[in-house]
Amino acid sequence: IDASEKSASGIEYADYGILVPPASDRSFRREITEDDRILAEAMVMVLSSPEMAEAMKNAAKKRAAEFTCERYLQQLTEMIGR
């Protein structure tokens, strides 16, 4: 999957996950919305490809490891020092 690839349905693909539009408030509604269809499409895509799910999991772990307190403090210190 190429990072930041966007499909016609509004799904954004990245190496570390799939971004779908936020769902609107669904409390006690029974009709299926376009956002529901988009989310279902993304879920089916990942669930039908264990290789894709594994690759996304590994990339997401690597990406999440970049967000550390140390890195945040370093960036903050650099910004303040300017």
Residue type for position 31: E
How high is the pLDDT of residue 26?
Answer: 60
Q: Say how far apart CA 19 and CA 13 lie, in whole Å.
A: 6
Residue type for position 9: S
Cβ atoms of 9 and 38 within 8 Å: the answer is yes
How high is the pLDDT of residue 33?
Answer: 82
How high is the pLDDT of residue 28?
Answer: 60
pLDDT (tens digit, 0 to 9) for every residue of the chain, 82 residues total?
444 455 556 778 788 888 887 766 666 667 888 888 888 888 998 999 999 999 999 999 999 998 899 999 999 999 998 7
How high is the pLDDT of residue 74?
Answer: 92
- Is pTM beyond 0.75? Reply is no
Tokens representing 69?
Answer: 């307190």
